[in-house]
């Protein structure tokens, strides 16, 4: 009788232990599911944003497509004619890739490389370089948004860190150019944050959206305000498009002590936003103001090399002065 009771108690204990193990196993599975859901909710793909408004809200960018205050236009562009090779490629009977992003990328490669060749400064210590398929990420509101930009143009190693990126290009297949605007907004915000975190002299960043037929230029200023150009058609606006590319490249080169061709008596580095405002029309023309922006300084500076980085010094300072503004971008 006692033996039977002991057996019964042991059986109950074994059942309880088995039940406890099942509960622990179920709890582990539940925890794994919740962790996966948590990771999924905190890591988002840039391609998951299907409207520019959602993208702007996600990364804190101020933009309204219908508001003239977010319009961007060149003032008086220089006269250029640098699209002959592109025109020949577009009309070539040997090419049948007009519906692909590859063809769009080929056209933009030729345009940018041609203009970089023209603008190249032989005395610069770093030159702008194209890097394809660059992974970018931005953290906002506890979530990380990731994506891969088609092309980044900068003066550093974009694969090691994208804080040296100055221009981002998002290419889409023919007829779908504007579908890439939400992604481009995410990428611009990612670079803007990276440049600010690196204490770069200027944190603004340019962007280009294109399907090789339609072009739109985008600019995100340090205050996270977005400006966009009107849609430009390659068929009718070839010259204007090349003028835009030229201006954006030239202004990007001026933004960094590493790439600017003006190393002595430079009045642009510490007044970069003012310089941009005088060459571009940002927002409503009725509110246009060419005056110096608050916080910027147009007094000339020299750019000198010290140690492993460039240093910006006042023109009246000596080479040995310690009172410098070190910009190790």
pLDDT at 321: 44
Q: So what's the pLDDT on residue 54?
A: 94
pLDDT digits (tens, 9 = 90+) for 42-53: 889 999 999 999
Using CA atoms, how far apart are residues 2 and 133, in angstroms rounded to an integer?
76
At residue 32, the pLDDT reads: 55
CATH of 52-259 given 3.30.70, 3.90.1570, 2.60.40, 3.40.50: 3.90.1570
Report the distance separating Cα 159 and Cα 136, nearest Å: 9
Residue 5 binned pLDDT confidence (cut-offs 50, 70, 90)? low
pLDDT at residue 180 in the model: 93
Half-sphere exposure of 178 (CA within 13 A, CB side): 9
pTM given for the model: 0.75
In this predicted model, what pLDDT tens digit does every residue of 238-267 receive, in sequence order?
788 888 888 888 888 777 776 777 777 777
């Amino acid at each position: 009788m006692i033996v039977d009771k002991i057996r019964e108690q042991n059986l109950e204990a074994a059942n309880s232990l088995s039940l406890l193990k099942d509960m622990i196993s179920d709890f582990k599975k539940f925890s794994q599911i919740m962790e996966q859901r948590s990771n999924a909710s905190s890591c988002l793909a840039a391609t998951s944003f299907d409207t520019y408004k959602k993208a702007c809200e996600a990364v804190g960018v101020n933009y309204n497509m219908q508001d003239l205050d977010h319009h961007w236009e060149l003032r008086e562009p220089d006269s250029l004619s640098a699209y002959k090779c592109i025109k020949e490629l577009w009309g070539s009977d040997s090419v049948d890739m007009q519906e692909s992003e590859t063809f769009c990328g080929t056209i933009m490669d030729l345009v940018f490389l041609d203009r970089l060749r023209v603008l190249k400064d032989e005395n610069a210590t770093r030159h702008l370089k194209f890097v394809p398929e660059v992974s970018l990420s931005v953290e906002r509101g506890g979530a990380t948004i990731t994506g891969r930009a088609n092309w980044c143009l900068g003066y550093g190693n974009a694969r090691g860190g994208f804080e040296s990126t100055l221009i981002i290009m998002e290419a889409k297949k023919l007829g779908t150019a504007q579908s890439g605007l939400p992604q481009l907004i995410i990428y611009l915000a990612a670079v803007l944050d990276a440049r600010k975190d690196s204490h770069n002299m200027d944190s603004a960043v340019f962007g280009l959206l294109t399907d090789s037929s339609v072009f739109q230029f985008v600019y995100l200023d340090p205050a996270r305000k977005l400006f966009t150009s009107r849609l430009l058609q390659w068929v009718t606006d070839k010259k204007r498009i090349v003028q835009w590319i030229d201006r954006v490249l030239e202004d990007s080169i001026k933004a960094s002590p590493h790439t600017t061709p003006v190393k002595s008596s430079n009045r642009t580095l510490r007044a970069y936003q003012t310089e941009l405002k005088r060459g571009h029309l940002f927002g409503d023309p009725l509110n246009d103001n060419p005056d110096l922006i608050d916080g910027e300084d147009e007094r000339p500076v020299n750019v000198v090399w010290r140690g492993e980085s460039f240093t910006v010094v006042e023109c009246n300072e000596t080479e040995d002065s310690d009172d410098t503004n070190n910009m190790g971008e």
